[in-house]
Structure 1
Amino acid sequence: MTRSACLIFNPVAGQGNSEQDLATIKRILEPEFELDIQFTTKEISGGELARKAVANNAEIIIASGGDGTVSMVAEALINTDIPLGAIARGTANAFANALEIPDTIEAACKVIVDGATKKVDAAICNDKPMILLAGIGFEAETVEDADREAKNRLGMLAYVLSGLKQLREFEKFKATIETDDKVIKVAVNAITIANAAPPSSVLAQGTAGVVYDDGLLDVTIIAAETRAGAIAISYHLLQSASNGEAAERDDVGYLRTKWIKVTTDPPQKVVLDGEIVGSTPIEIKCIPEGLTVFTPVEEVIQAEERLEHLAGIQIENKEATSESETIVETDNSKIISD
């Protein structure tokens, strides 16, 4: 029996020929699925089309476009049990890369045809769905500066050039990071809270590979003292991600948590799944197994936490009381614990 599927197709995604891309998708999928093809427009987003498909009891929903299209469709499917198929045709393709979904149309279609699905986590950030990550500070400024024209013309190089520009405007800000069990106060350049992230999302790589199905958010804290230090951190995190190792620099910290709230002074811009959505404060909660995806990905292992070495950091465990807490001094940090 032929399965039915709604294909949500963004005709302006990426730098390829969209008509040829669609023809390839139809050639591979139509023998297996009864396709209902819906096109995004300037007026109608992938999210709107996905919500309509959900309301119409779609069996499967397939998103073909860049990260914006795939993320909006995915967000509409959180807690629905409707499987998502991703055929990435954008500039970064972060969602597909994070889940190791192939980045060619033919191979991505084969994953969908094969039919194997996996439950992965999602999240809510300030009442907005989050599939990938939220970036505060440096990453948000970089994404905002890399405009659509530059991305269409230069691809990933647009983000690299934007990042170099942001380094020239290098500065720190004060952050208060609250989790279920601690409150952290530290001066930083960037904070990245990831539900899922590919190795190319360098500032999310403190924990040596973001695990997208463990019910936890991966938080990476960047506290570089100089521009040269920020460049060195980026290179170190890139190498760490490539080697599957956790960051081991004194100006990089990381932790894993189900819930997090971040307040900054002064307020900082926030990028959510590749789009600027406002400024701090933000509050993010993980939704374990909130999304069903066609994916071939195997499970990986990551490091748990590394914080105390960050210069000037203060960590207060929420369980501590004035009668039982102990102050522990180190060379560059103060830790309050039971």
Structure 2
Amino acid sequence: MSRSACLIFNPVAGQGNPELELAQIRAILEPEINLDIYLTTEDIGADELAQAAVKQGADLIIASGGDGTLSAAALAVAGTDIPFGIISRGTANAFAAALGIPDAIDAACRIILQGITRDIDIAYCNDLPMILLAGIGFEAETVDMADRDSKKRFGMMAYILAGIQQLRELEIFDVEIETEDKIIKTSASAVTVANAAPPTSVLAQGPAGVIYDDGLLDLTIVAPNSKAGAIAATYHLFQTASAGNAAERDDIGYLRAKQFKITTDPPQKVVIDGEVVATTPIEIKCVPAALKVFVPSVPEEKLVEKLEGLPNLEIEIKKEC
């Protein structure tokens, strides 16, 4: 066999039959790749298994499971130049969707066998690694409300139900956003900073497509003045994301930058890659081309900034030192 790979498999991910799913993966990959298979357990996570595979000098590292498994393994591989394969079997499968990798096991395996890779960015939020996005305000509160039992029982519907409930307690906060060259002050109910994000992460979809390998982070500000406005803004983001267009409403703004420093009044919860792990203030920095991933396609360049129309907007251009 020409190649060998470490396959990290989470047997409790998703709602399928793990034995059949592992057998399917092996049937497709093993004719061309020699697989060393390691199962995650309650005591040994995907990050530990990936770190061990890196030390052993694996030619490829493949992870199969939900977003938690995939992100943990990916971050352990980042910076090593070892190609990383994704076979998603979770509830949301946001990581795979953000890179255009299908949920179907056979299709995901075929992408690995094709051997096309892209060097994608990762980020750090308050020194915590981030593959997908950080959500401030509405999204963080929604994720916090959608507990593990609800997600296991209802899948993606758990987030929708939590979001509807969170609309009843919609909070507007003041936010200051500092980039390398400007300081922006406005009001918002949600601020999302994305390194990579699928169309289903609607609050990240201000620009026309989040680009995962441009060395920049994509920030979206959602600033409705009412619950009805929040619903309308969210629906608009869903529509524009589905069509591949940039948002056009006055209460939605977006920009791209290498790093952001974000403070809010009052302090807000922050969700990083699906887990509430911090509160504002935060600093997020992009690390370009840190992870080599098997992907099916290349993203297109899109619009990069729109801030006009946001409430109480102030923009200060920073002087060069």
TM interval, shorter chain, is over 0.9
Amino acid at match of 2:304: E
Once the two structures are superposed, residues 44-77 of structure 1 have per-residue CA deviations (whole angstroms, 9 ceiling, x without a partner) of: 2111111111111111110100111111111111
* Deviation per residue, 1:246-282 (Å, 9 max, x gap): 1111110100000101111121111111111121111
1:298 has 2:298 as partner: yes
How many residues are treated as equivalent by the alignment? 321
Secondary structure of 1:276's match?
A: strand
Instruction: Determine if contact 2:187/2:310 at 8 Å carries over to the other structure.
Output: no
Q: Which residue is 1:146 aligned to?
A: 146
Letter in 1 for 2:55: A
CA contact (8 A) 2:204 2:220 kept: yes
Cα distance in structure 1, aligned partners of 2:285 and 2:307: 21
Matched, 1:95 2:103: no
Q: Quote how far apart the aligned CAs of 1:301 are.
A: 2.2
3-state SS of the aligned residue for 1:211?
Answer: coil
Q: Is the 8 A contact 2:255 2:307 kept in 1?
A: yes
Q: Structure 2 CA distance, aligned partners of 1:228 and 1:52?
A: 51
Instruction: Work out the percentage of aligned pairs sharing the same amino acid.
Output: 63
User: Which residue of 2 is the match for residue 76 of structure 1?
Assistant: 76
C-alpha separation between the residues in 2 aligned to 1:99 and 1:78? 16
Partner of residue 256, structure 1? 256
- Per the normalisation by structure 2, the TM-score is 0.98
The Cα offsets for residues 211-254 of structure 1, whole Å up to 9 and x where unpaired, read as: 11111100000111101100001100000001111111111010
Displacement of 1:320 in angstroms is 8.0
Q: For residues 98-113 of structure 1, what are the structure 2 equivalents within 5 Å?
A: 98-113=98-113
Aligned residue identity for 1:100: G
- Aligned counterparts of 2:280 and 2:42: Cα–Cα separation in 1: 28
Look up the match of 2:15: 15
Counterpart Cα distance in 1 of 2:76 and 2:173: 34
Q: What are the ranges of 5 or more consecutive residues in structure 2 without an aligned counterpart?
A: none
> Partner residue of 2:181?
181
Equivalent residue letter for 2:244:
G
CA distance in 2, matches of 1:41, 1:11: 8
SS at match of 1:26: helix
CA distance in 2, matches of 1:18, 1:281: 41
Note the alpha carbon deviations across 1:197-219, whole angstroms, 9 max, x for none. Answer: 01000000000110111111000
Distance in 2, Cα, partners of 1:99 & 1:266: 34
Change (3 A) 1:320 1:308: farther
* TM-score, with length taken from structure 1: 0.93
1:141 deviates by: 1.0
- Distance in 1, Cα, partners of 2:166 & 2:68: 23
Q: Which has the greater radius of gyration? A: 1
Moved beyond 4 Å, runs of 4+? none
> One-letter code of the match for 2:280?
T
1:217 equivalent in alignment to 2:217: yes
CA distance in 2, matches of 1:104, 1:297: 16
Letter in 2 for 1:57: G
Cα RMSD (Å) of the superposition?
1.2
Q: How does 1:1-338 map to 2 (within 5 A)?
A: 1-319=1-319
Where structure 1 has 5 or more consecutive residues not aligned to the other structure, the ranges are 322-338
